[in-house]
A and B are shown apart, each in its own frame.
Chain A
């Protein structure tokens, strides 16, 4: 197989982007650990605003993270089979509920983080 197999077709390219999203996410987590260490050195020495690079990188990683989550959740309807009253639930319903749970979890986590941050 040619090494450029994944640039030939749009579907292959989007698949590789999806798989690639793990890399920026892993790098972001490492950088986050560094930022946490810096914050742990004392409030006087740390201010998030002085770390604009991390903020910019976070926004870029957010884009990758959203792509990762959306592609994953869209496929959940294909994978999960639930039988209710002898009939399969429609896959659209399963996908929609996955997105709804994702939104709910995001709101709860954001509320906790912002609440504790104040």
Chain B
């Protein structure tokens, strides 16, 4: 029986040589039904064209490195099975809404800056004394924010968000979900410090609840829910009497 093959069309862009990105076609063996798009890219790099550039690491959907557009949808390429696309060609492009450095590699500096801007660490008004030991936390208290702590910073949500696509000043789904993860943490007392970034025109209020971020999230973080709940909480905080604030 003839060997099964599949066509991968990957974006190529060398900023020193090319004026704009273009697609290059590769015809590779589709040997194994468990093959994913990342396997295809690795085969191309190893045996066909060593100059193809892309990011990857764990190959099991936990590191968040290999996010790319696969046939127009943001996906982790280690989680996109070739069998779902075969026999049609698979078009692999760099993640939407980010500047392209080279081929399939995007510039994520803006994203990293946004993550840092929401102060994603435990903020205390008063540190508990060392002798008191570790912070105590009930499983129910962890469950409050557990979902929002699952984010692997893969940026698929930013690629899916049309608001971010139109305005890259928008704080974005992952950063706001991360802020909510800390605001809901019972050990944290830093809500007031995060508010200027969050409750800003470029923060939560830029979101118009398209909801595509939660659709593409590979870890079920539901950043759309985090953003809308933050909108409600910050508004109630604004409206309610002083006694409700910490």
Contacts and interface: CB of A to CB of B under 8 A. Distances in A.
Interface in B136-184: 140, 162, 165-166
Interface in A5-46: 5-6, 8-9, 11-12, 15, 19
Secondary structure call for the B interface: helix
A80 B165 CA distance: 28
A1 to B, nearest CB: 4
B140 A75 contact: no
Interface string A69-90: 0000001001111000010000
Nearest to B225: A78
A11 B228 CA distance: 18
Interface string A90-102: 0000000000000
B209 A75 contact: yes
A86 B144 CA distance: 11
Contacts of A75: 209, 211, 228
Secondary structure call for the A interface: helix
**How many residues of B sit at the interface, in one of the four size bands?**
20 to 34
Contacts of A15: 210-212
B232 A80 contact: yes
Nearest to B162: A5
Contact of B162 (A1, A78, A81): A1
Given A6-B162, A86-B140, A1 B232 contact: no
A110 to B, nearest CB: 29
Contacts of A1: 96-97, 162, 165-166
Given A1-B166, A6-B162, A11 B225 contact: no
Contact of B229 (A9, A19, A79, A86): A79
Most B CB contacts (10 A, CB to CB) among A6, A79, A81 go to: A79
Contacts of B232: 79-80
B57 interface: no
B72 interface: yes
B146 to A, nearest CB: 12
Interface of A: 1, 5-6, 8-9, 11-12, 15, 19, 75, 78-81, 86
Given A1-B162, A5-B165, 4 more contacts: A1-B96, A1-B97, A6-B162, A79-B225
20 contacts: A1-B97, A1-B162, A1-B165, A5-B162, A6-B162, A11-B211, A11-B212, A11-B215, A12-B210, A15-B211, A15-B212, A19-B208, A78-B222, A78-B224, A78-B225, A78-B228, A79-B225, A79-B229, A80-B232, A86-B140
